[in-house]
Chain A
Amino acid sequence: MAKIAREVAGFVALPVRFQCPSVFPEAVAHYIYLRPDEPKLPSIESPQSLFLVNIPITTTEQHLRHLFAGQLSAGRIKRVDFSGDTRNPNIPGENVPMAKNSKKRKRATSSALELELETATLPETWDRSIHPSGSHAVVVFVDRPSMEASLKAARKAARLGTTIIWGEGIETRVPPLGLRRYQAHHTMRYPSRKELLSSVDSYMSAYGRMEEARSREEAKKRQQPDEEGFITVTKGARGGVVRKEDAKELGQKQKEKEKETGIENFYRFQMREMRKEQQGELMRKFEEDKRRVAEMRKRRGRIVVVVEMVALYTTEILDLCPSMVKGEYNSSVAMGTVLPGLAPIPIGWGTFESDKNLHFFLQAFHEMVQEVPDMDQLTRMLAEMHFKSAEMCDELTKNCGKPAGTMYGFHVTTQHGKLARDNPWTTTWEEYFVRNMTCMLDHDEKEGGPRAARDGGVATTSFREGHLSALAPYGN
């Protein structure tokens, strides 16, 4: 059993014991926390009040009176304000008598009458109220010494562990709980006809007076110019009180009427817009459906796990591997910088520590489609990439040892499969192009054997010389 704190955050933890032998035989401790009341807006009575937290749900004023005056034999209580009790709103003391006085005056103000209305309640239906667990209350003592004595006594009781049995000795003075309380309630909720009628009458007459007073006041306001000589416009001038929401409704109706008579589907642009709207609607619905299907699938837990795909270059082209992955990585980075979204986002490349022959290159996973992309779009994007890359040339190649100025090339060797493309920097694109082509042709020769002079060899040489000039006019 853990140790019980006797004080916590300035509160004295006062143990009281519950006894209900017939149902729950154990005697059980309950802790009421108390400290001097320190409200944010202190009133006259604050210094002579205690603030109680975690009062038992069955607490009544009687109980607390008995607790402090009888069981702790300390202070006498003037009043108890329970939290959440609307019947005893914690109104500062002065206001109460004023309200009473104003009732006697013949021409009461409407606000005072309203206050009176609030106090005109229906007959009680419970003889004893129950508080939510853990609620608090403010106990107002007759004077400050009573309060202090009570606090002291409580602290002492907490220290000594005095057994205080909750409600012991006042069983007869408070209304019973349980079945009898419910029976009583059942009786009280049917007040006698007379009682009910008088309560209703008094309320309704007060209400009538209030309405009257209010309209009088408003009428007065209407007539009196304010200090600047303006007359305030108030509601309910002539023709009775117009309800705001009724007016709104009327307005709405009017609008709808206007809409009905308006010309729609007349101009071509209207039709066009409508079609557009419909199409948009279809599109939206389609997207929505797609989303829902995806969601459903996710819920069923059958989604394909998509993370990153690992592409391993290995086996027969071992020696080329590092160059391949490096080239792929760098070109992907460059492409990503120039035109984000064109190529998958590169993540990294490297060599496995466990197997030096195994290299990897990671890209963000993309679901592939087995279809040819829109050619028009693809070529346009490729063109854009090349144009842009020329523009961004300097920015792209900041740290790769490129001579200044617009140059053609790339700082890393890239691979087309086995075919390595050395990318030296050249000043004209023609030069670069020819170099590349030559490189390719050479490779072809190497792999496929020497070409027949007719189609291969001649072409290569002629390409190397002739085409360069042939291309030039289109260059810039």
Chain B
Amino acid sequence: MSQQRKRSMENPKAKRRKLSHSSEESLRGTFEDGDSSRSTSDASLSAGQTNGHSPSEGKRLTCSKLARNGHVTNMRHSSASKLSSQQLMAANTAGGSSMMTLQINDLLGEIRPDHDKLMSGLEETLRRLQRIILHLPDVAPMTAPEAEKLLSKEAGVCVPFPNPRPGRDTKYTLEYKRPARVDVVGSLPLQLGIKSKDICTADLAITLPDSILQEKDFLNHRYFHKRAYYIAQVAAGIQRHAKKEFNFSFEHQDGITLKPSLMIEPNDSSPPGFTKSKLRVRIICAISADVFPGNKTLPTKCCLRMSDSTSPTQYYNACLRSEATTELYHRLLERTSTYCEAFRDVCCLGRLWLRQRGFGGSVARGGFGPFEWSIVCALLLQSGGSNGRPALSPRYSCLQLFKAILQFLAAKDLTDPLLLNGATCEIPKSDSPVLFDGAGQINLLFKMTCWSYQLLRQEARATIEAFSSKAVDIFESIFVKRLDQDLLRYDQCLFLEARAFLQGHHEQENAQEGLRMLHGVLSRALGNRARLVHLRYDSSLKWSIDKSLKQGTKVDKRIETGLLLDPDHVDRLVDHGPSAEDKAAAAGFREFWGDKAELRRFKDGSITESLVWSEESSVTRQVTSYILQRHFEIPSSAINFLGDQVEHVVPAPNRPLSRMAAFKVVNDAFQTLTTQLRQLEGLPLSIRSILPASSQLRYASDFTPLTSTPLHPIDIIIEFEGSARWPDSLPAIQRTKIAFLIKLGDLLSASDSTITTCVGLENTTGPASSYSNTSFLDIYFPSPQPRLPQPIPFRLRIHHDRTLTLLQKALSSSSTSTPNRTALTSTLQSTTRHYLSTPTHTTTVSRLCTLHPSLPRTIHLLKLWTASHHLTHSLPEEILEIFAARPYVHPYPYISAPASPQTAFLRILSFVANWDWTAEPLIVDLNAFSNPHHTNPSEIEGGGGLTREAMAKAQTRFTAWRQQLDPALNNVVWFVATNLDPTGVVWTQGARPPRVVAARFTALARASIELVRSRHGGLEMQADDWRGLFISPLMDFDFVIHLKKKVVGSGDAETAVAAAAAAAGSGGGGGAAATKFKNLQIDRYSSRYDADDVDGDDEVMRKKELCLDAIALFRQDLQRCLGDGVLFFYGAQGSRLVPALWNPKVLPLPLPATTTDNGKRRRGQQWRVRMAYSTIPVLNAATTGGGRGGGMGQGPEGEGEVEVEGLINQRGILAEIALLGVGLVERIEVLKDLVR
């Protein structure tokens, strides 16, 4: 492999590089060795020119690019000839899988920009700038105020002095002399950049001549003042020569306020190459390495000696050192890229990985950018291992290097300072990371804050874990997916108005200090509720060169805080502080919490300082707003909480029982019933198991159990011990089951008089009726709560394991006719689904729900969302639950499982939006234990239910479905394999959902995510926007059946839609408003149907009546009778709308405009005897004139011209729907024109 790599690595031409671009952040520069600055720059430019290939070379270049595009090409050729097993092994093991290696190679080819093209655009401009700068006249030394005044007067340039500005009494003078060198620098000369949509920056580094600097200039901002003046002079000089060609502005280099840089951007009159290039030029300063001795600026030294304080000025010192190390590090990178083949690749990968996670070199973006990445890599290639040996080997492959760097970041705790390259100084431990390079005498991570370091480590750790995990799509997650959307990334976000916060810390310089304090307070206040408190304050400014910084900027900014919460602790209502006896700690606690701290005595007798939070709103919100008010006097009006808005939009319906309480009631009743059933005596066979098989028993139903109407029977399955006395024929088994159920019912009601039972029938009609289960036992369990008037209905079915075998036998027997076979297949599927898969699914989801407290709400949100778009009916609810569980069991690419439903919900939508189900299976391991904070990786490996082999098998099955079994996606649209269902189709087989519904689901998710993204990554989502996610326009449908309010009952979806619709101001289409009063609701039970033919005294009858879901029956009829021609949609229980679409296959096709004089006429299908929908026999318009014969219709085929179309009778079908739904349907609204 390595040999192939070498050849494909680079075109030798490409190695000669001078001009480059840096795609986002600049790195330090390219310093060519040379005698004088002029010759250097000229040489560099001429080299740049040769790099612009002559056309004849274009072809070769393409070839080399193709080859570089991946080793795919190489592999193909070598494997064709002879690929030894060692090589294969290497390919397979090097990165865990060859797949990953291949993908990365592919990716690298994609992201590498065309350096030559980039350069050719810039070349002219850079050369011009260089020439101008090198020819600027020297300016005599003068004092700071004089210099500033003169420059402002003569050139109109305001010197961007950093604070504190030089005072009037400064002794030293400022002057300008020709720079020692001017070099084009940045990551592009090293070809480390990647393609990017953002505007890229090319750096021009000006090395200040030593002669204008004095020995003591490293002290007290003196160097930075000189630097500011110098850059202002350069700005003035360039402006003098080329004012019209460019736009000028100042910007802080990497967000470091000490280091202003000059930005040069193209405008319309710039050289065309520059204008087109999407690049800009940044002019930065550098000094030679030995101007200031390195030991004076060690992190332990104090270089700001204005006041009496002698505390070390780490940040200042590092800023200074970074000016002097430019050349050193450039050389290091260059050298590394020559001796380590994969270095350039790993820098590209690193850059991509960082960018997708929002990291960058500027202070605001975390201070760890591509430059830091490549330097860390380069340093580790030469030291950092044990005994000072290199930690990495240059022979590592790109993927190995990448992983090794991540491993270094994740595992090595750099808050314990790491000294490299023979550095000997003692740096005290702090909460900021220190990676001190002895060669450059600089802490490379000086721009990082403690939170950005924490985040970086967690991201690295998560990626490392993902590499070792078994999930299939980690490549996408690691490199392709963009993760810097705060709402998806953090569990909760809050914005502080920066103005309110920074009042006390008004000056820019102190912003960092202020943020540090804020972080400290928030972390302490949240304690173990939060696993990470991340702050971001983008203070980067850009201002016009003729204005001072203060004049130039008046922007309202905010501090964005992201919290990763720990679900186990986040809702704790009482915090225990130190014991009252520990006086010092208690005082500290009081000091910190103020009035909120209370001394309390607890059950265990301890008396501690404590905090008590209210249950009313989210605890984190209370904590943060209280503590911010207390310590920073930030009013809560200046804080914007994000993370639970969707909860407010979709309120929990006002019911006598909360959702979770209702689930608890149901689960308890199930437990009681199980015990009672097991205790029954006199059953012919003993009970083997009683299994839950309902979404109500796994916290997942879209409605609230017991409180919505009609009542839904809770499915449970009973299995008896095996016996040879069961008959060996399916119909006979069904009869035996009935006998069993009658017996069971008798025994149960005899043992407990409060329980009523009755046996019901199902599936008694239809072609395969004798094969399906035909009976169930309804058990009405008395309500345990007086507040609930209605009983808890259970529906018990018997599972006999022989049934499936018999079904398979019947299916495989040759005597079964085709229609029977279809019916049998679907019976077999539904039997498997109901009796085998549902119980295991129920148990698993229920376990997950207890594990992740926010999962039930997430499921609810997702189901409500689905319902509000009328898709519930067509999507298996189990699949939605698997979707909902996915971010919890496979949190990657995010750091941890979501702790808030909203975050989870958005992650699900984002997943669905990106899931290309035509080409990818979804494989979820519901047993994957995902919380990295609770387990170690080895448990993850052992506890997962899906092995790699199982995944591979699932993949193979998927391929089989797509390529052979069902390429048209008529049967299996979604392939969702789990550890419970390796076949991947248990829930989705039989077009559940049909393709069109799946496509709509995806499209809606995509639209939703797009909306969130368009609101600044969701950070500016208003309540209306959130509501908008839950509003489905009816325009997309052909007609809508409006159901009568009286019969639809109530569910949660109804309230969600109503709330959404009411808020949006669209009165139509909404469901019934939630009933506010309990008594009214009870009324609704009794008055729901005309009670004249129901015997009101009959208790059982009344209970049964509660479970009558007429709408469901109606929809079944519609589906069965009209399903071929019409696609019906339906939301969750309580929805009053049944939108529908005509199947496009049955609609006549529009005629091409040229063949008909009447544009409206459309061509239908020729009339046939068997058309699966109601038709109108229409004489074809084209033939009515000519073929008007008496015998027409006697043989249309024979007469040729006469043709009768079977046009779909849309009105007739609507009328039939109306007839079928008498008493249920209020009206049918036609939204799209019917075919005439």
Contacts and interface: CB of A to CB of B under 8 A. Distances in A.
A189 B735 contact: no
Contacts of B1179: 2-5
Contact of B1204 (A5, A185, A287, A293): A5
A250 interface: no
A133 B1172 contact: yes
B1214 A8 contact: no
B1224 A130 contact: no
A73 B514 CA distance: 97
Contacts of A189: 760-762
Contacts of A13: 1177
Interface stretch (B256-264, B315-323, B889-897, B1118-1126): B1118-1126
Interface stretch (A40-48, A199-207, A260-268, A418-426): A199-207
A352 interface: no
A126 B1209 CA distance: 27
A369 B67 contact: yes
Contacts of B1110: 179, 182-183, 186
B760 A190 contact: yes
Contacts, number: 301
A454 interface: no
B776 to A, nearest CB: 10
Nearest to A167: B1219
B140 interface: no
B97 interface: yes
B67 A370 contact: yes
Contact of A7 (B736, B1192, B1219): B1192
Contacts of A185: 1113
Contact of B1121 (A86, A123, A133): A133
B242 interface: no
A179 B1047 contact: yes
Interface in B361-414: none
Interface string A237-250: 00001010100000
A56 interface: yes
Contacts of B1195: 9-10
B74 A368 contact: no
A154 interface: no
A133 B1122 contact: yes
A308 B67 CA distance: 18
Contact of A197 (B63, B742, B1226, B1228): B742
Nearest to A296: B103
A178 B1215 contact: no
B1201 interface: no
Contacts of A302: 110
B1121 A132 contact: yes
Nearest to A185: B1113
A460 B1217 CA distance: 101
Q: Which of A176, A243, A296: most chain B Cβ within 10 A? A: A296
Nearest to A12: B1193
A234 B1171 CA distance: 47
B788 interface: no
B767 A86 contact: yes
Interface stretch (B82-90, B427-435, B496-504): B82-90
A23 B1223 CA distance: 9
Interface stretch (B650-658, B692-700, B725-733, B827-835): B725-733
A176 B1117 contact: no
A9 B1167 contact: yes
A457 interface: no
B1089 to A, nearest CB: 7
B680 interface: no
A5 B414 CA distance: 87
Interface string A435-452: 000000000000000000
Nearest to B63: A368
B99 A299 contact: no
A125 B762 CA distance: 8
A470 interface: no
Contacts of A304: 66, 69
Contacts of A22: 1218, 1222
Contact of B1219 (A3, A20, A186, A371): A20
B767 A18 contact: no
A6 to B, nearest CB: 7
Given A180-B1223, A290-B102, A190 B1218 contact: no
A54 B1120 CA distance: 15
Interface stretch (A28-36, A103-111, A220-228, A402-410): A28-36
Contacts of B1192: 5, 7
B1175 A24 contact: no
Interface string A350-384: 00000000000000000111110010010000000
A58 B1104 contact: no
Contacts of B7: 370-371
B603 interface: no
Contacts of B72: 290, 293-294
A22 to B, nearest CB: 7
Interface stretch (A143-151, A277-285, A393-401): A277-285
Nearest to A166: B1219
Interface in A195-221: 196-197, 200, 203-204, 207, 211
B1220 A177 contact: yes
B1223 A285 contact: no
Contacts of B573: none
A25 to B, nearest CB: 9
Contacts of A86: 765-767, 769
B590 interface: no
A204 B742 CA distance: 15
A57 interface: yes
Contact of B1105 (A186, A191, A290): A186
Interface string B713-735: 00000000000000111011001
Nearest to A124: B764
B63 A125 contact: no
A196 B1177 contact: no
A456 interface: no
A200 B1174 contact: no
Contact of B92 (A130, A243, A286, A292): A286
B128 interface: no
A308 B766 CA distance: 59
A197 B916 CA distance: 53
Contact of A31 (B11, B1161, B1176): B1176
A391 interface: no
30 contacts: A5-B1204, A9-B1195, A18-B1216, A18-B1218, A26-B1215, A30-B1215, A31-B1177, A53-B1169, A53-B1170, A58-B1220, A86-B769, A117-B731, A132-B1121, A134-B1172, A178-B1220, A182-B1108, A182-B1110, A190-B758, A196-B742, A285-B98, A286-B88, A286-B91, A290-B72, A290-B75, A293-B99, A296-B103, A299-B916, A368-B67, A369-B67, A371-B77
Given A5-B1177, A29-B1211, 4 more contacts: A2-B1184, A28-B1215, A124-B764, A133-B1174
Interface of A: 1-11, 13, 18-20, 22-24, 26, 28-31, 33, 53-54, 56-58, 84, 86-87, 117, 121-126, 129-134, 136, 176-180, 182-183, 185-187, 189-191, 193, 196-197, 200, 203-204, 207, 211, 241, 243, 245, 275, 278-279, 282-283, 285-287, 289-290, 292-297, 299, 302, 304, 367-371, 374, 377
10 nearest A-B residue pairs (beta carbon)? A178-B1222, A179-B1223, A7-B1193, A24-B1218, A18-B1215, A23-B1218, A20-B1218, A289-B99, A178-B1223, A5-B1177
Interface of B: 4, 7-8, 11, 63-64, 66-67, 69, 72-77, 79, 81, 83, 85, 88-89, 91-92, 97-99, 102-103, 106, 110, 727-729, 731-732, 735-736, 738-739, 742, 758-762, 764-767, 769, 774, 778, 805, 809, 916, 919, 1047, 1089, 1093-1094, 1101, 1104-1105, 1108, 1110, 1113-1114, 1117, 1120-1122, 1124-1125, 1161, 1167, 1169-1179, 1181, 1184, 1192-1196, 1204, 1207, 1209, 1211-1228, 1236
